[in-house]
Amino acid sequence: MRNVSCQSRRLDLGSGGRTKFPSSDGFDVTVSGTVEWTLDETKVPLLYCKYGDATSVEQRLLLPAARTSSRLQGSRKPAREFISGVTRQTFQDDFQRELKAVVEPEG
C-alpha cells in the first residue's frame, strides 16, 4: 500500500508557464498560465493504474489537455482581444470549463 498526497498542485503550461498559438487573425500569441489541480481521492487507485504517479498524471493527462484547450480557445479570437482584461477573463473561464470537462471524468 502506498500513501498518496491529494494536496493541491500547480502545473505551469509549457516552458516557463507559456503556451504559444496562432490567433484567428494569424498572429502568434503567447499566454502564460498555471493550472492548480488536485487528485480526486476516490479515483486515485484508477489514476495510478492508468497513468502512474502524480508527475505522470501531469505529463500524460493535464499538460496535453491544457495545451490543447488553450490553443483551441485562443485560435478562436483575434490577437488584439488578448490585450483587454474582459477578453482575458472570458478566455480563462472558457479554458477552465473546457479543461475541467476533459480531465474531471478521469479523476
Identity at 27, one-letter amino acid code: F
Contact predicate 4/67, CB 8 Å:
no
Q: How many other β-carbons are positioned within 10 Å of the β-carbon of residue 90?
A: 14
Block mean pLDDT (10 aa), the chain, length 107? 74 74 87 85 87 87 88 85 76 88 87
pLDDT of residue 14: 64
Q: How far apart are CA 55 and CA 23, in angstroms?
A: 30
Q: What's the burial of 19, exposed, middle or buried (CB within 10 Å: 0-12/13-18/19+)?
A: buried
pLDDT of residue 101: 92
